Chains A and B, each alone.
Chain A
Amino acid sequence: MADTNTETLRRTALHPLHVEYGAKLVPFAGYEMPVQFPDGVKAEHLWTRSEAGLFDVSHMGPSFLTLASGMRRDPAAHEEIAALIETLVPSDIKGLKPGQARLTVLLNAEGGILDDLIITRPYEEDRQGELYIVVNGAMKDQDWGILDSALAGKVVLTRADDGVLFALQGPKAEKVLSAYFPDCAALKFMECRRLELNGETFVVSRCGYTGEDGFEVWGRAAAGTELAGLLLDDPCVRPIGLGARDSLRLEAGLCLYGHDLAPDISPVEADLAWVIQKRRREAGDFPGAARIFRELKDGPARKRVGIRPLERAPAREGTEIFVGGEAVGVVTSGGFGPSIDAPVTMGYVAAAHAVPGTKIDLMVRGKARPAEIASLPFIPARYKR
């Protein structure tokens, strides 16, 4: 998702902090973003797994979708807005409890994935009829365009990417963040609250993209920047760049849109059928339902899998996968996992070869390298359930 047009790059509100902490900045999703800090990718990765890492993800697409008639103190308002968004995603949004967040996918008419996103129902009684929606930075213009046109007149979409969105991830995250938000410690994985600090409101969600316990925090630009600066003053917290963000999510078996997910890939192929809850499966009322039901019944032609190279050579995106000399798939994400101290890879293979333990060859620089299909994630998730 990197782009090279440096003239039109945007900066997040946290840019001065990146500079202060010595970031190496690169173009990413239209923004100038830190790829690493002086510690380097490996140290940043390991620090996040043992302490707490702060990630600027303000380039992503936080937004609020509200009924055109407004929010109200009435659970029926949630059902109304959920019914609208459910025309575009296959997850049970109506069934979200107050303050519950859920990963879902935006689907095209063929059941292909246009983006992956997190939708949250507000906890607060007076905010029913609103959804907090965070989409991928590189896809936000597409996604918001789809919401605007598909739900025109029925909803108001408020883009919140002029604020600050950061993630605090790692085993020390709860201790560090609860100094500012005591109530955050009571949240469980995929729960969200609006919390106050010095008269400013923040949206605090217990989720992330590393496999670690942690939080994502949205706030207005000035207040969010001030809080991020205070958190970085804690000796447990270091700033983490996009390089370690990628190796952390890959070890955790999490997908990167545009690489592991794309418009021709269905949730069943992507091993994300779990985002389609029972009520929606029974109703079959989402885009591309015919294909998705066919794949659920007969099995998909290809499947997303984890891959462990058996030698030290990493296999990068685009590497071809062979079994017995026959091409059976391709790597969609590949690199090195500092926590498991070995190369880690994800890709798609023909369903017949998707069973963990299956021996495969990765064609790296013209040479077949032995590897095997592995269960995901590569490291166990440490979410607070």
Chain B
Amino acid sequence: MTTYYTKDHEWIRVDGDTGTVGITTYAAGQLGDVVYVELPETGAKFARGDDFAVVESVKAASDVYAPVSGSVLEVNSALTEAPEKVNEAAQGDAWFVRVKLADAGELSDLMDEAAYAAFCEGL
């Protein structure tokens, strides 16, 4: 399994033709206390770059963008009841959705862990 990252601070951990998607620890830190997460319906389809979820802190709402095109296999409904998990385990238990990839070739446009770390360093 390999994890890829976007410039909008989403991650996708890929296993075959499925991927688990969330927001990065860096993004969660920037947002502050997460109080609400809105997830898509299972079966929803989206294109790379579409906003597919919303994460809200005390102060503001932020869109979460699809790192690749695909369809939603499963959503992490635990986040609806316990949105604070995003601050505790953004890159672990607090994943947002599992997706079926539409085009694995899109992954080559994403950053690997080292490239993402360097990207955040420069912000």
Contact B56 A313 (CB under 8 A): yes
| Residue interface bits A44-72, CB-to-B below 8 A is 1, else 0 | 01000000000000000000000000000
Contact B56 A314 (CB under 8 A): yes
Contact A336 B58 (CB under 8 A): yes
- Interface residue tally of chain A, by bracket? 20 to 34
Contact A312 B36 (CB under 8 A): yes
Q: Which of A41, A313, A316, A338 lies in contact with B38, CB distance below 8 A?
A: A313
Cβ contacts under 8 Å, A40 to chain B? 32-33
Give chain B interface residues in 5-30, CB to chain A under 8 Å: none
Judge if B57 is at the interface, Cβ distance under 8 Å: yes
- Known contacts A312-B80, A365-B54; is-contact A335 B59 (Cβ 8 Å): yes
Contact A41 B58 (CB under 8 A): yes
Judge if A246 is at the interface, Cβ distance under 8 Å: yes
- Known contacts A312-B80, A365-B54; is-contact A41 B36 (Cβ 8 Å): no
Cβ contacts under 8 Å, B57 to chain A? 41, 336
| Residue interface bits A159-182, CB-to-B below 8 A is 1, else 0 | 000000000000000000000000
Contact A246 B59 (CB under 8 A): yes
Judge if A136 is at the interface, Cβ distance under 8 Å: no
Contact A314 B54 (CB under 8 A): no
Judge if B97 is at the interface, Cβ distance under 8 Å: no
Interface positions of B (Cβ within 8 A of A): 32-33, 35-36, 38, 54, 56-61, 80, 83
Interface positions of A (Cβ within 8 A of B): 35-36, 40-43, 45, 243-244, 246-247, 312-314, 316, 335-336, 338, 343, 365
User: A-B pairs with the 4 shortest C-beta distances?
Assistant: A42-B33, A336-B35, A41-B58, A336-B58
